[in-house]
Chain A
Amino acid sequence: MINTFDRFRVLLAGPILLGSLLCHSAALAQSPSSRVDPIEVWYTFAVDSQEEAIFLRAVDAFEKAHPDIPVKPTRIPYLQNLSQFINSSQAGEAPDVIRLSDSELGRVGHISVEGLPLLEDLRVHLTPMQRSRFDARALAAMRYGNPLYAIPVSQGCLSLIYNRKLFDQAGVAYPRDDWTTEELLRAARSLTRGDILGMSVPLKWSYWFVPVLSAFGGAMFDPSGRPTLDSPGSSEAMDWYLDLERVHGVTVSSTSLEAMSTQFLLEKSAMVFDGAWNWNTYANQGLDIGQAVMPVMAETGQRLAPLASYFGWAVSKQSDAKVDSVRLALWLTSADVQKEFALSTYMLPTDRSLARDPEIAADPVLAGYIRQIQHTVQVPTVRGASMVYEQLDVALEMTYTGEMTAADALAAADVEMERVLDR
């Protein structure tokens, strides 16, 4: 009896010993170490992609130029980037430098841990001259309220991409920059035959609705950042947009966003509104494609203006090497790096000097998209900007299914948006 109990105690001693060892090692791990920690930078470029190669080359060059600043790049799956950053920040394990989009900034901006924001306000880190290199709109998109949370590195927007072969087959003239929506619809109708669609538009995604909304004079927010989903012109815009399928039958709605690129890749549709970021996906598939600026709305005389979106490099508030981190962020946003990204992956630069760069101007795709970016609208980087799409999506769904009129759905969306923001 006693014997077995002793054995029991011996067996229990194991876990206790193990536990105390673990606690000890944990305590050791927490002791402050001298600053040789590398700058941890998170990036989301896909593994073995061109983007990753350019990025890693830039990091190497930075390390060569600053031998005393080691850098540790970590690849994070793109879709989990933001949640991973938020979780790590809560646990005090945030990286020093991270690449975020303006809409992600809109979500991160209002988050605070222990009363402090997640990101460092970079205004005090940059001299006015360093700042002046960047496009003013891009800089503005990197601000959440007053603070500047990231240094803009690239921008992008949707534009009209068309399949030359399908246009030739149907005997329709290629799209031009001065097209009106009437010409667009006429072409789309002539192109729609058999199982080929005139255009692929993901009708239930509000991101694709924004150009039409802006062409009718509507806007998602007023300049102060309050939602204005039921602004004048928005319900006409929604009806025009959904009529692409309901009346003209030149596109078919789908629940999947992939449907758009799949249809276009398989030459089942002649036109898409897509970003330069997908240009290589189409071109590498062997499609003969061209680009034109989005047309002018015949009803209003205003041009369809898609949303401009931006990426920037941000520095964590928790970083213990902010000066070096900002140095790295500036390096990664330098004109040279931006130019390399632009020429090989069609990320539009934010450095103002590059807009006049001869090599960039000579690239028809970059030049075309730089023309398009002159006709874009901007969403203020506010918390609502990350939530507005869901409400607009619901409004599109409700209108599409016929449960509500466009005007009612938009009014309800606006009410819900106000409610969400006041919560």
Chain B
Amino acid sequence: MSRPSLAARWYVPAEIQALRLWLSVAVLVNLLIMALDVVRDGKLWPSLLGIALLALGRLSLPDGQANWKKPVAQLLGAGGVALGLFALAISPRLLYDVWSVAWLVVPCLLLVAWLSRPRVADWAGGRSDREFAERGLARNKESMPRLDVVALHLALLHGLAVVIVPVIWIVDVAVSPGNVLGGAIGDAFTLEHFTAVLSGDSFWTWTRNSLVVAAGTTVFGLALAVPAGYAFSRYQFSGRKESMFLFMLVQMFPGIIILVPYFMVMKTLGLLNTSIGLIIVYSVTALPLGVWMLKGFFDTVPRALEEAAVLDGCNQFEVFFRVVLPLSLPAVAITALFSFLAAWNEFLLALVFNTSNEQYTLPVGLASMIPATGQQWGDFAAASIIVSIPVVVLFVFFQRALIQGLSAGSVKG
């Protein structure tokens, strides 16, 4: 046996590398499927057998030396495909069954198909000459990212499904006639709930109040958090650690028991039934996250940049606004988004501190759509969707700030 070259020692075909990872993941997913099969009272042996085939297939992946592994692996793969098709045939063939079978069949198919590719077959047959390996490495460099991206998309799509199914369900309730909670998805379509919600005057009042409060909170919250975060990041001063801890501390006492004294504070300050009152309360609520986020971000901005700016003749404010803040846009954006959402979705304080319909915000308004009897689920779902639209729009807008942060990041180095 000749001494393999360095390239040959490093070279493993992209397909094999991908299969190593994917088969392991497939084993894990099939374990999850088996757990679900227990819940479903289904037959256990197909999934058990499937896991065994995948695991054995993973173990018998060729290692670049001519041996028994390749044909065995291919045989196992073929077995997996057959088992999957059989399992599908005896199942009720729900979407779920198709998905779970796919997690057995697709990896097995790939196992069979990729191992029969000439290049992989050669490698598995023990070919390790330098030229072969070097060309292989070059090819890997090209195909690895592609395979990576495919895997990434696959994973993200799974996440997407989990995230979006409840959303689709809410949308379905909103566009179904009547006020039933449930029923088959997509069986009927109507916009009556949306028109019902949007035609009421109250909805627009709530929206206006919410917008005022949320926008005010965003601005005021940032105005409080940015200087504090900057001071915590840049200066060593007496009471620094204690006040940083203080920001965490005030979040720890359960809020519901102190609603009445909180109410008394607001009453004493004359802030009941005002938007300003809510803006101040929410800004303070959003402070801990904002201050700590911004402090963490300012920490990553090198002091050298500031010192350079000072040498260029900038004063402290100019340094902050021209150098530090632009570099920290992502944190500012996230703090702003957080403040906005905290104000937009908050319910309890908005209810307690307002006893006037003209001051209600959207969450309180939505809650007052729930009648004592017979739930108006359709209207409720439609309103919730309308409520989340501004947030999504705002987010798309904020994404730019996040991306700007990325380009700014490269300046730092």
Contacts and interface: CB of A to CB of B under 8 A. Distances in A.
B356 A74 contact: yes
A98 B365 CA distance: 19
Contact of A74 (B178, B180, B272, B357): B357
A84 B183 contact: no
A-side binding surface: helix, strand, loop or mixed? Answer: helix
Contact of A46 (B272, B351, B364, B371): B371
B102 to A, nearest CB: 28
Contacts of B369: 46-47
A133 B260 CA distance: 39
A47 B365 contact: yes
A48 B366 CA distance: 12
B143 interface: no
A95 interface: yes
A46 B370 contact: yes
Contacts, number: 99
Contact of B371 (A51, A91, A284): A51
Interface residues of A, number: 40
B18 interface: no
B183 A266 contact: yes
Decide if the interface of chain B is mainly helix, strand, loop or mixed: loop
A77 B351 contact: yes
A46 B200 CA distance: 12
A87 B260 contact: yes
B373 A88 contact: no
Interface stretch (B93-101, B261-269, B404-412): B261-269
A262 interface: yes
A91 B267 contact: yes
Given A95-B355, A258-B181, A49 B367 contact: no
B370 A77 contact: yes
Interface in A43-99: 44-49, 51, 74-80, 84, 87-88, 90-91, 93, 95
A26 interface: yes
B179 interface: yes
B367 A284 contact: no
B202 A26 contact: no
Contacts of B364: 77
B374 A280 contact: yes
A78 B368 CA distance: 7
A286 B178 CA distance: 9
B371 A262 contact: no
Contacts of A262: 180-182
Contacts of A258: 181, 375
Given A26-B267, A76-B368, A261-B374, 19 more contacts: A23-B268, A25-B270, A44-B372, A45-B372, A46-B370, A47-B200, A48-B202, A77-B364, A79-B370, A91-B263, A91-B264, A93-B355, A262-B182, A265-B178, A275-B373, A277-B372, A280-B374, A285-B178, A285-B179
5 contacts: A23-B269, A25-B270, A29-B270, A78-B370, A84-B355
